[in-house]
Structure 1
Amino acid sequence: MQEKNTAWYASWFDTSYYHILYKDRGYDEAEAFMKHLVEFLNLPEDGTILDLACGKGRHSVFLNKMGYNVTGVDLSPNSIAHASKSANDTLRFEVHDMCEPYPKEFDAVFNLFTSFGYFEHESDNLRTLKSIKAELNETGFGVIDFLNADFVIDHLVENEVKEVDGIIFRLHRYIENGFIYKDIRFEADGHDHHYTEKVKALTLEDFESYFRAADIDLLAIFGDYNLGKFNKKTSPRLIMIFK
């Protein structure tokens, strides 16, 4: 029997409240990013893509509509159950731990919207990158879309209140031990809830060190979803293309 994952992301991402809090994420911006990305990579028209940490699968679904053969994987059984409602002959979803290699090779592996750096142990970050490398075919490309830690720390909003679907979320952000934390508190369904997100404040230099250790070649770096030039002080994103 597989051991139950008790990490924060295994519980928080598997709740309905996570999806309520982030329901206003911009679909248009995300879809434009996908178009820019596949055009830059010049993927084959019927190419294969692994969407690593796919959540409920909205990006997988869009990429599939663009004509790609897509596999979406995520640690959350609830997210995969939801995503699987959209499955077809060229779109499939599975529960999978991204630290472990998926047993297939792809034209591209996408790890999007800061779905990296959640682990307590540095070794798991490296294991994930080695797994991505193993999932790429001979001409395949890996993509990690991460936050730009320097920009996020400089523009950190410590306290915020958001009301979504009648739920008042109280958010508190802070930096501690090299991680960016977000405490999330709210009352719903007659109960008080408390979750904490944390992501390692990894810089480009950190990723370059990982890439060397994983024998990965960094090919291009971008700083936003329009694939603009990366600037560590002004870019909101750190988007890395590698193989």
Structure 2
Amino acid sequence: MAYDHNHLAMWNQWNQEGGPNYPHQKVIQFVFRNFPPAVRSQTRVLDLGCGSGVHCVFLASEGFQVTGTDISEVGIANTSQKLSKLGLHANLKVEAADVLDFRSDSFDLVICVGVYDCAGSEVTKISVDKLSTLMAPGGRGIFLFASNNDFRFKHQVLNIHGFLEKEVKAIFANSFDKVWIDRYVTTYQGGQIEQNDWLVTVENLLP
């Protein structure tokens, strides 16, 4: 997808302000549950839409072989700087979520947090289709993105797309060998504010 100047400028500005400082708790849980320390040095992970690198830093510090991609050159520069300061390494690339110029079976783990709701359904469908071929047999993935019930969609924070259930099912249909579609919901102020994310986890089976 060819992103226009205003779209790229928005995400460069967002990354200029630093982005999140800590990895998402669901990513931590998923990684620790599925990838014990003994296998991490052999596990190739893609952080799709890595932003300013909070998950790249977490994954590299845990011993994974990390690749990070993002459309924002500012985000990639921030990620590189954070890794360098900690003596960590990752392969980094400025690249849109629907490009994914990698060979098949390149990754054993894919994480994607807060990206598809910013990219929209068309880009998401292309991205998921490509990821299903890039993920190796036995690989797993976790995707978090806003639903149509999320406050960020309702108030148009960063112009995100709130996904309907039927969209999510259509996008992930016939993709990975196993797909689990769940929700991750948090409410604030007595339920007045609702953060409502789709939590999609996937797996490709071993031959």
Superposition TM-score, scaled by structure 1 size: 0.66
Question: 1:216 aligned to 2:176?
Answer: yes
Question: 1:127 aligned to 2:123?
Answer: no
Structure 2 partner of 1:35: 28
Tell me the matched-pair count: 188
Distance 1:235 1:115 in 2: 15
Question: 1:45 aligned to 2:6?
Answer: no
Query: Structure 1 residues 84, 125: CA separation in 2 closer, same or farther (over 3 Å shift)?
Result: same
Equivalent residue of 2:131, what SS?
A: helix
Residue 7 of structure 1, CA deviation: 5.7
Query: Structure 1 residues 124, 222: CA separation in 2 closer, same or farther (over 3 Å shift)?
Result: closer
Identity %, equivalent residues: 17
Instruction: Check the 8 A contact 1:100/1:128 in 2, yes or no.
Output: yes
Structure 1 partner of 2:77: 81
Structure 2 partner of 1:115: 115
**Which of 10, 13, 26 is the aligned partner of 1:12?**
10
Q: Which amino acid aligns with 1:132?
A: L
Distance 1:81 1:72 in 2: 11
- Structure with a larger share of its residues in strand: 1
Instruction: Check the 8 A contact 2:97/2:124 in 1, yes or no.
Output: no
- Structure with a larger share of its residues in helix: 2
Residue 93 of structure 1, CA deviation: 1.2
Instruction: Check the 8 A contact 2:107/2:136 in 1, yes or no.
Output: yes
Larger radius of gyration: 1
Structure 2 partner of 1:205: 166
Superposition TM-score, scaled by structure 2 size: 0.76
Query: Structure 1 residues 10, 147: CA separation in 2 closer, same or farther (over 3 Å shift)?
Result: same
Query: Structure 1 residues 217, 181: CA separation in 2 closer, same or farther (over 3 Å shift)?
Result: farther
Residue 61 of structure 1, CA deviation: 0.6
Structure 2 partner of 1:70: 66
Distance 1:144 1:137 in 2: 17
Structure 2: stretches of 5+ with no match in the other structure: 187-193
Structure 1: stretches of 5+ with no match in the other structure: 157-172, 183-196, 227-233
